[in-house]
Amino acid sequence: MRFFHDTHIDFIGKRKMFYIMSVAITVLGLVVAFTRGVEYGIDFEGGTQAAFRFAQPVPTGNIRSAVDGAGFIGAEIKEFNQSANQVLIRVKTEHADAQDQGKPAPKVSDRLQQALTKAFPGNKVELLKVDNIGPKIGKELRLQALYAVIASIIAILLYITFRFEFLFGLGAIIALVHDVLVAFAFAVIFNGVFGLNLEMNQSLLAAFLTVVGFSINDTVIIFDRIRENKQLHKGENLLMLMNRSINETLPRTINTSLTVALVLVILLVFSGEVLRGFAFTMLIGIITGTYSSIYIASAFVVDVLIRQGKLDPHAERDFALHTQQIISSRRVAKA
């Protein structure tokens, strides 16, 4: 079964509305980020990680409740050494540096062990190892994460420029930057909402980079079809040609994105705390990446060509009339 077969949707004609929507979401996210602040995970802020072994396995949810009850809200908890009775608990610097009535607080590992022992009496808790991540290392990791995103975007610009032309590459990069900014905006806005832990860590960095790779794939498919249609429909209005190309690739775009989105929704609902932030960020990125490939990458090329005078100034009017004629003829046929 094919969805969205033989469509004639006016994608290019609606581009300005989506420009406004994308700018509004991005600006809102950046405003929230500056006013509320970005919450970093232990990877990018520093902290303490301690590994414990229980005499008997304990569900991760129960361990999380005990750790939260001890004041370590938002700690990362996962299995250690692929063993059901061993866990690794990671606590950020703000908890590691806690003070109690002006006196130095006990070591984080000791406080965690005391909390676990109290929560699970009769189940011996043994401390296996403790590692500390300093704030300086966390800052370096933040910079490296930023460099990784920038390097991936530059590499993609070079690839698209080599495969197509610079203007198409620039349009693809603007769409990619838009996708990362929107995903970042949603992560900042929804952090702590509905129990989502969306602090900036290596998991979210992986989500951002995956969004970049997935989004450029959609964009390249559309650009390929535009190049093919330039040869098949020589002399056709560029706006009509781009709209034709986007409509022809729409079934493939929707089916691919919908398949990935369904998997991410399942992960978001049923996965544990570790994967939920990744799934949410990826889900937002897949949605924005799909429509940015349609409404931003190709639309940017059109607007630049119009400004440069390389596209007939009457082309947009003719395109709108042509689209309206198609819609009217379909209505008559259905009647």
Neighbours of 328 (CB within 10 A): 10
Instruction: Give pLDDT, residue 131.
Output: 78
pTM for the structure as a whole = 0.74
CA angle 165, 171, 175 (to 5 degrees): 145
Q: For the purposes of burial, counting CB atoms within 10 Å of the CB of 279, is it exposed (0-12), middle (13-18) or buried (19 or more)?
A: buried
Instruction: Give pLDDT, residue 4.
Output: 58
Task: Yes or no: say if 46 and 123 are a contact pair by the CB < 8 Å rule.
Answer: no
- Domain end call among 133, 151, 183: 133
Same domain, 198 and 263: yes
Residue 96 clears pLDDT 70, i.e. is over it: no
Q: How far is CA 292 from the centre of its chain?
A: 13
Distance, CA of 70 to CA of 63 (rounded, Å): 11
Number of independent structural domains in the chain: 2
Task: Yes or no: say if 187 and 281 are a contact pair by the CB < 8 Å rule.
Answer: yes
Strand partners, 130: 50
Q: Give the CATH number, domain containing residue 64.
A: 3.30.70.3400
pLDDT, mean of residues 180-186: 85
Enter the tokens of residue 88: 């690794």
Where residue 136 falls among pLDDT bands split at 50, 70, 90? low
Same domain, 277 and 174: yes
Residue 212 clears pLDDT 50, i.e. is over it: yes
Residue type, 5: H
Same domain, 241 and 119: no
Residue 114 clears pLDDT 70, i.e. is over it: yes
Domain extent at residue 162: 12-39+138-334
Same domain, 175 and 310: yes
Where residue 332 falls among pLDDT bands split at 50, 70, 90? low
Question: Is 279 among the domain residues?
Answer: yes
Instruction: Give the position of tokens 């690794």.
Output: 88
Same domain, 233 and 257: yes
Same domain, 162 and 102: no
Question: Is 146 among the domain residues?
Answer: yes
Residues with Cβ within 8 Å of residue 316, at least 6 apart in sequence: 13, 239, 306
On the CB side of 275, how many CA atoms lie within 13 Å of its CA?
11
Same domain, 94 and 217: no
Enter the tokens of residue 62: 């129960």
- Domain end call among 99, 133, 167: 133
Same domain, 142 and 276: yes
Instruction: Give pLDDT, residue 103.
Output: 40
Residues with Cβ within 8 Å of residue 13, at least 6 apart in sequence: 239, 243, 316, 319, 320, 323
Q: What totals of helices (H) and strands (E) does the chain contain, helices first? A: 12, 6
Same domain, 179 and 309: yes
- Name, of 95-99, 124-128, 145-149, 328-332, the range with top average pLDDT: 124-128
